[in-house]
Amino acid sequence: MKHGDGGDPDDSRDPIDARLAARLAALRAERGWSLGELADRSGVSRSTLSRAERGEISPTASLLNRLCAVHGRTMSQLLSEVEATPAQVVRADEQTVWTDPASGFVRRSVSPPQAGLRAEVVEGRLDAGADLSYDRPPVPGLEQHIWVLEGTLTLTVGDSEHTLHAGDCVRFRLWGPTRFHCPGPEPVRYALVVVEP
């Protein structure tokens, strides 16, 4: 996904961006909320919400997390809603890859959510020096397992900080803020298993 420069959306933008913008607008409409009501509930400005719904900007990971929390969805659930019907076998070249250039975060939906299944697998990648913070979980009590595949990840869950190296795994239930930091010198790549409560 690319960030808009504030101009009108054009035909060269990522089709996922366009579908995501439409889905964000539809979610707000389904609840009958005005932009002001959604701004109050999410802590995101009306102008940013409006631009995201019109596809003028690509929402950051932090912004999507806030909107997911308001709508009671994980980020994977939201992204899966703008994709085609999920298949039982998800080929590597068909997996959705979402990029947040502002934070240096790349997210691959290895096994996106599917009706009747509670777990999903995500691959995350952070550039050296990248720092990604979430102020709240998208769904309180979400179970997460993070297995570092390459590099080093400093993960803060609530008041606990963990430095994880290749092969290390941490697991927890998510109730509060989290922070993902790649101290470098290389990027970090990790597998994230998410299980709905």
Compute the distance between CA of residue 101 and CA of residue 99 in angstroms, rounded to an integer: 6
Q: At 9, is the pLDDT very low, low, confident or very high (cuts 50, 70, 90)?
A: very low
Catalogue the E-assigned strands of the chain: 96-100, 105-111, 119-126, 131-134, 142-150, 152-157, 160-165, 169-174, 178-181, 188-195
Tell if the pTM clears 0.75, that is, is over it: no
**Is residue 162 scored above 60 in pLDDT?**
yes
* Model confidence pLDDT, tens digit, residues 124-157: 999 999 999 999 888 888 899 999 999 999 999 9
The edge-to-edge listing of strands for the beta sheet with 178-181 is 131-134, 178-181, 152-157, 160-165
Residue 93: pLDDT over 80: yes
DSSP 59: P
pLDDT tens, position by position, 73-89 = 888 778 777 765 556 78
- Average predicted confidence (pLDDT) for the chain: 86
Examine the pLDDT at 11 and tell me if it is beyond 50.
no
